[in-house]
């Protein structure tokens, strides 16, 4: 039997160090499912593992794409499953780690199945967006699928600003006459592994302090120069993320540098709350305090192999 040890939790909680310790113990590889760390142009602002950490275990899906590529969660799912099939031939234990809940779910469960949508409906939805803007799509989704609108408002509000995702939600509602959420959580793709899901957490004050410290480290390591280099491409989808948007406002002289840095900290703290909200609904997760002794976590994992 194959096992995929999956480490989840909010940003800056210590997932990377735990994944490396477990990879060294079990002699296996690490798959990253952090959607921001895919892009090679975004190193400091996405807290990519250090060169020393990357050398401590074999990592996959870190800085393997360019911000100029259109890379979706569906693309990642396909590539990750192919990579896992390859890795399981060498070792029936592998590790996946990351803070992007949608990407974790894609690998663990696969995607829901949606019917084909008539091209006329898709064209009409796109035209409405182009003429009336993202707020029109938001209001449409709120009317057509209040349950799903409220869910993403609470768990991942950035999605409400993503035109592609919003157009997709609305076109499914209109094209099928059913709420988008009615197609979710149906029978998923079968996987050739058993997930062992480990969550890391800490008291909120500790979590926030770790985030503040991480942002300070990023600034000291050269985040400002990295963001400045990316600034000409600020409208790319990959760059619509915390740590870069705030500095882009500074470059446009909308804010001061000190204010931008405080905004990065504040928005990252908000992001961590949304991550926890998402991950807390992940079934069969065993949560550990971030300071838990590695041996205790390894013992927990070993119990799965015996059962």
Averaged over successive runs of 10 residues, the pLDDT of the chain (307 residues) comes to 96 96 98 94 95 96 94 89 97 95 90 82 92 95 93 84 92 92 74 96 96 97 98 91 96 98 96 90 94 97 87
What per-residue confidence (pLDDT) applies to 186?
64
Instruction: Give, in words, the CATH class of 119-183.
Output: mainly alpha
Domain ranges of the chain: 3-111+188-306, 119-183
Bind-site residues: 9-16
Q: Cα angle vertex 63, ends 76, 100, to 5°?
A: 50
DSSP 18-67: HHHHHHHHHT--EEE--TTTTBTT-STTTTPPPHHHHHHS-EESSS-B-T
Bind-site residues for ATP: 9-16
What per-residue confidence (pLDDT) applies to 185?
66
Bind-site residues for substrate: 11-16
Instruction: Give, in words, the CATH class of 3-111+188-306.
Output: alpha beta
* Cα distance between residue 272 and residue 281, in whole Å: 15
* Cα distance between residue 207 and residue 292, in whole Å: 15
Q: Report pTM.
A: 0.81
Tokens 């707020």 -> residue: 135
Per the CB < 8 A criterion, the answer to whether 19 and 97 are in contact is yes
What per-residue confidence (pLDDT) applies to 307?
65
* Cα distance between residue 31 and residue 83, in whole Å: 9
Q: Give the Å distances, CA to CA, from 122 to 115, 134, 166, 184.
A: 13, 15, 12, 20
């Amino acid at each position: 039997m194959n096992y995929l040890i999956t480490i989840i939790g909010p940003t800056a909680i210590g997932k990377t160090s735990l994944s490396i310790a477990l990879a060294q113990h079990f002699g296996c590889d690490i798959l990253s499912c952090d959607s921001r760390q895919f892009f090679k142009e975004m190193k400091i602002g996405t807290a990519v593992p250090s060169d020393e950490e990357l050398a401590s275990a074999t990592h996959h899906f870190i800085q393997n794409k360019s911000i100029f590529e259109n890379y979706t969660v569906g693309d990642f799912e396909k590539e990750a499953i192919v990579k896992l099939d390859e890795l399981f031939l060498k070792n029936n234990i592998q590790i996946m780690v990351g803070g992007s809940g949608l990407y974790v779910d894609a690998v663990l469960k696969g995607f829901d199945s949606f019917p084909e949508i008539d091209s006329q409906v898709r064209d009409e939805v796109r035209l409405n967006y182009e003429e009336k803007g993202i707020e029109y799509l938001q209001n449409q989704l709120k009317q057509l699928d209040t349950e799903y609108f409220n869910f993403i408002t609470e768990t991942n509000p950035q999605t409400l600003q993503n035109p592609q995702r919003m157009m997709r939600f609305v076109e499914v509602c209109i094209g099928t006459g059913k709420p988008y959420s009615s197609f979710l959580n149906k029978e998923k793709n079968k996987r050739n592994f058993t997930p062992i899901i480990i969550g890391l957490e800490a008291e909120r004050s500790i979590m926030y302090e770790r985030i503040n410290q991480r942002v300070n480290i990023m600034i000291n390591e050269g985040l400002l120069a990295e963001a400045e280099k990316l600034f000409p491409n600020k409208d790319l989808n990959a760059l619509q993320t915390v740590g870069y948007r705030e500095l882009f406002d500074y470059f446009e002289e909308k804010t001061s540098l000190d204010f931008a840095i405080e905004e990065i900290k504040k928005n990252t703290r908000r992001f961590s709350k949304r991550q926890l909200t998402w991950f807390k609904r992940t079934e069969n997760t065993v949560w550990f305090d971030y300071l838990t002794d590695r041996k205790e976590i390894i013992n927990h994992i070993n119990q799965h192999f015996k059962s």
